[in-house]
Structure formats: structure tokens, C-alpha cells
Amino acid sequence: MSTPTKLYEGKAKILYTTDDPGVLLTQFKDDATAFNAQKKGTIAGKGEINCTISQHLFQLLERQGIPTHFIDCPSASTMRVKAVKIIPLEVVVRNIAAGSLCQQTGLALGTVLNPPLVEFYYKNDALGDPLLTIDRLRMMALATPEQVEQLRSMALKINVLLTDFFQRCAITLVDFKLEFGMEGEQLLLADEISPDTCRLWDQADTDPDRRVMDKDRFRRDLGGVEQAYQHVLERVLAQITPV
Ligand code: TMP
């Protein structure tokens, strides 16, 4: 077996080659960043937690007909994935107004969005991942019009499935970010789905700070970051394998 070569190191994950050119190995890190890496820190145990949560969510989505890049997890913090050509878009689905939506529109935190909002951001750290209009997206040829419609409909279907799953965990799925890639002609859900990439509110608590179970605890210095991630993991595992 040849030694894995580091292909790319991102803010939260490292990507390695494997013996099979169609397969990559992802190492989930404990490192955390926010505000385009202006804020840096560590969340102890995050790598294992996010890898495990992502594994279960990818498997759940696969069972419901959403093709993903997930293959398996050789260890708690590593995931083997299909090698895909990442589409440079971040697809955000919002069920409830929070974060940049409130900052940019003045909408009150917690406003229910019905139907859910689907947004496309340009995945480009140097530019700070700007929000795109559909016309800009077309002009820049970041995805074909057919791909854009496919991304939107997959994102909305994933939203229905994840909202229903988190509801069973007594967690409200406020919003989340997805990334997609192409394996030949097939569009696959890629990256991760974790408390780093979702806003998750504990339904057992209405306090606007205490209910936060996601990376907003780190972004906003709310404390209890590790515990919140651990609680999400425990609830996900309890739903996947009911005791
Ligand atoms: P936003 O409100 O800051 O635009 O974030 C929307 C959702 O996207 C939220 O669930 C967090 C997630 N997200 C990421 O996964 N990566 C990012 O770089 C950003 C800005 C947001």
C-alpha cells in the first residue's frame, strides 16, 4: 500500500489520496474557524464528532435516494469518500431567519421562512464567499442552468429529510450549508453535515443563547461548545440506533 499523500488542507478537514484514484480519505480536524478564518480555535473532540454525525446523516440521506460521496469510516475521525470535482458553490437552505440573513435584511431572528430559502454563495475564501444572484451565477458559469435547478431541488429534498430527522432528535434545523461535486456525470452531495455547517436549536430550551447547539457557540463566544457538539452526537446516535 502506498503512503497517502496530502492533497489539500482546509479549515476543518485534510484530504488525502488513497491507492484507488476514485477514492479519497478525509481527516476531520478539531480546528475551528469563523468569519473566514479571522477567528481561530480548537473544539476538543470535534473531528470525531463531526465525522460520526456526517456519516450517519449521509447514510440516512443515501437510504432516501440522495446520492452522496460517502463510502465508509475507517476510524472515528476519518471518512473514505468518492473523488468528486467540487462545484464551487455553497448551497444554503434556511427554514428560520438567523445569521447573515438577519444581518443583511433586518429580518428578526427566529422569523419562520415558508417556503424555505435557498441561497447560492461563491466558494472562494479570497472573496469571502459572497452571496450570488442567479444571474451572476449564470454569468460566471459556476454551474449550468440545469445543475442549478438540480442543486435547488436536491437541497430542498435534503431539507425535508434532515428537518424530519432532527425533529425526532428534538432539535430544530434552522439552516445549513451543503456542497456538491460531480463524479463523472453524477451530482453527489459532498463535504460534511455537522454542527459546523448547520444551525441547530434545542427544542427543550427557548432561551436564544442556551438553545444553540452548533458552531454559533464558538462564533459568538457562548461557551459550552464541546458539550453542545457532544449532545448533538448523542441525540443523533439515539435516533439512529434507538435504545
Ligand atoms: P450564515 O447565516 O452565516 O450565512 O450561515 C448560514 C449557514 O451556513 C449556517 O448553518 C452556517 C453555515 N455556514 C457554513 O457552513 N460555512 C460558512 O462558511 C458559513 C459562512 C456558513
Task: Give one word for 221, left, alpha or beta, with left for phi > 0 and alpha for psi -120 to 50.
Answer: left
Are 60 and 52 spatial neighbours (Cβ–Cβ below 8 Å)? no
| 52: three-class secondary structure by DSSP | helix
Confidence class of residue 3 from pLDDT cuts 50, 70 and 90?
confident
Residue 85 grid coordinates: 470535482
Per-residue pLDDT of 55-106, as tens digits, reads 999 999 999 999 999 999 999 999 999 999 999 999 999 999 999 999 999 9
In angstroms, rounded to a whole number, what is the distance separating the alpha carbons of residues 217 and 196? 10
Q: What is the pLDDT of residue 242?
A: 60
Are 162 and 178 spatial neighbours (Cβ–Cβ below 8 Å)? no
Residue 2 grid coordinates: 502506498
- Which helix (H) or strand (E) is 70 found in, with range? strand 70-75
Global pTM value: 0.97
Query: From the CA of 91, how far away is ligand 1's center (Å)?
Result: 9
Atom of ligand 1 nearest to the CA of 198: 10
In angstroms, rounded to a whole number, what is the distance separating the alpha carbons of residues 63 and 242? 17
Q: What is the pLDDT of residue 205?
A: 97
Query: From the CA of 144, how far away is ligand 1's center (Å)?
Result: 24
Determine if ligand 1 sits within 6 Å of the CB of residue 92. yes
Determine if ligand 1 sits within 6 Å of the CB of residue 45. no
**Mean pLDDT across the stretch 137-161?**
96
Residue ID of nearest Cα to ligand 1 atom 17: 197
Confidence class of residue 44 from pLDDT cuts 50, 70 and 90?
very high
Determine if ligand 1 sits within 6 Å of the CB of residue 239. no
DSSP letter (8 states) at residue 55: H
Q: What is the pLDDT of residue 208?
A: 97
Residue ID of nearest Cα to ligand 1 atom 16: 197
**Mean pLDDT across the stretch 164-169?**
98
Confidence class of residue 243 from pLDDT cuts 50, 70 and 90?
low
Q: What is the pLDDT of residue 173?
A: 99
pLDDT at 2 over 90: no
**Mean pLDDT across the stretch 169-179?**
98
Determine if ligand 1 sits within 6 Å of the CB of residue 33. no
Per-residue pLDDT of 27-39, as tens digits, reads 999 999 999 999 9
In angstroms, rounded to a whole number, what is the distance separating the alpha carbons of residues 136 and 71? 34
Residue ID of nearest Cα to ligand 1 atom 7: 176
Percent of the residues in the chain that have a pLDDT greater than 70, as a whole number: 98
Residue 173 grid coordinates: 434545523
Testing ligand 1's pocket by substitution, the residue of 13, 92, 180 carrying the most ligand atoms inside 8 A of its CB is 92
| 186: three-class secondary structure by DSSP | strand
Q: What average pLDDT does the structure give for the chain?
A: 96
Q: What is the pLDDT of residue 4?
A: 82
Give every CB contact of residue 67 below 8 A, 6+ residues apart in sequence: 186, 187, 188, 189
Are 25 and 74 spatial neighbours (Cβ–Cβ below 8 Å)? yes
Q: What is the pLDDT of residue 163?
A: 98
Determine if ligand 1 sits within 6 Å of the CB of residue 231. no
Query: From the CA of 197, how far away is ligand 1's center (Å)?
Result: 6
Q: Which long-range contacts (CB under 8 A, 24 or more apart) does 99-106 make?
A: 99/175, 99/199, 99/216, 100/131, 101/175, 104/131
Determine if ligand 1 sits within 6 Å of the CB of residue 162. no
Per-residue pLDDT of 106-124, as tens digits, reads 999 999 999 999 999 999 9
Testing ligand 1's pocket by substitution, the residue of 197, 219, 232 carrying the most ligand atoms inside 8 A of its CB is 197
Are 120 and 89 spatial neighbours (Cβ–Cβ below 8 Å)? yes
